[in-house]
Homo-oligomer: A and B are copies of this chain.
Amino acid sequence: MPSLWQDDGMTEGRARELTIADIARLAGVGVGTASRALRGLPNVAPATRQRVLEVAERHSYVVSPDASTLKKGSTGRVAVVAPHLSRWFFGEILEGIEAVLREADYDLLLYHVGGLEERHAFFERLPARRKVDAVMVVGFPVEEPERKRLELMLGVQIVAAGGQHEVYPHVCIDDVHAGRQAVGHLLALGHRRIAMLAATDPEQPVQPSGRTAAYAEALAEADIPYDPNLVVTTDWGGEQGAAAMAQLLARRELPTAVYAHSDEVAFGAMRTIRDAGLRIPEDISVVGIDDHPHSVLLHLTTVRQPVHEQGVLAAQLLLGLLRHEDVQRSITVDTQLIVRRTTAAPRT
């Protein structure tokens, strides 16, 4: 009979079958102490808590939701945490998430958590309350210490909708591919002076952006040198896109095309271009990413991402995890180039 002390003999599959008693033995503490340490309760020495958490993590031990609510069973609730509610992408994905959760009779607790500090405060407080079975994060990453705390201490499952993450389950688009579709379209039309309006959320920690990587890759493959004068970084949003485009226009040589990280950034850029007396697409082509409902009204060429569907798939993934089903932990949905009237070949 293999002893639980033989760490090397454990596969990840078998490790998940460990009980709280096993974790206690491995950490050299009593079962009560191990349980308190894992559930974030007081009366555990910091060093002891640390040792228990390390053992739990090494063996991928997760407190079962039922055990952590102390026989009360699951809460029947899922927290959805989003950094914006009034922007289209977030509302649209929320509709998809809500539809699936309600169908499954789960309640949706909504948290609008804007900045980094607010987010830390949110994750600090959540464990004390154990109000939910799972947390769905929309469009932002959960940092490792927070993820471990939620998953190990509380058995709260984390799923990301609309964002790509190495460590926890997620549903997203392939940002590099989407960016390549947009920039590739401009290159195919014959553009070589292609500007980029790169969007980033100032409230979020800096993330490597697939949409930026796509631009660099596509230019390199086309043997076009990367020109920092053609790149402006801005916040997501129309007004920000308008201001970023004004910066571009103020530089010495104009681009013949603009690749915006989102349609709303593109809307702003379009206003600035037209207010400067330039025509779209005759003087400057513009392409975005999203297919926002207003894009068709502005005839914007864009790369469509299915946003509602990402919400639906993320919620289904989350439900599968709560039911301990064998689910696909990483789902990428397709994007599609939609050519409208804001792009054309450059003038020769």
Contacts and interface: CB of A to CB of B under 8 A. Distances in A.
A259 interface: no
Contact of A239 (B237, B264, B296): B296
Interface in A75-130: 80, 84-88, 90-92, 94-95, 98-99, 102, 107-112
A215 B91 CA distance: 32
Contact of A294 (B98, B109, B294, B296): B294
Interface residues on A, range: 35 or more
A21 interface: no
A271 interface: yes
A87 B92 CA distance: 8
B112 A110 contact: no
Contacts of A242: 297
Name, among A84, A85, A95, the residue most crowded by chain B CB atoms within 10 Å (CB to CB): A85
A267 B294 contact: yes
- Please give the count of copies of this chain that the complex contains: 2
Nearest to A95: B85
Interface string A228-244: 00000000011100100
Nearest to A89: B86
A268 interface: yes
A167 interface: no
Contacts of A268: 297
Contacts of A177: none
A298 interface: yes
Contacts of A94: 85-86, 110, 112
A332 to B, nearest CB: 22
A13 interface: no
A239 B112 CA distance: 29
A164 to B, nearest CB: 22
Contacts of A110: 80, 94, 98, 108-110
Contacts of A239: 293, 296-297
A120 B327 CA distance: 35
Nearest to A267: B297
A192 interface: no
A78 B38 CA distance: 31
A294 B263 CA distance: 11
Nearest to A113: B102
A86 B88 contact: yes
B107 A109 contact: yes
Contacts of A271: 297-299
A102 to B, nearest CB: 7
A51 interface: no
Contacts of A112: 94-95, 98-99, 102
Nearest to A264: B294
Interface of A: 80, 84-88, 90-92, 94-95, 98-99, 102, 107-112, 131, 237-239, 242, 264, 267-268, 270-271, 293-294, 296-299, 308
6 contacts: A87-B91, A91-B91, A107-B109, A237-B293, A238-B294, A238-B297
Instruction: Return the 10 tightest CB-CB contacts between A and B, nearest first.
Output: A86-B91, A86-B92, A91-B91, A110-B110, A85-B91, A98-B112, A85-B95, A271-B297, A238-B297, A108-B110
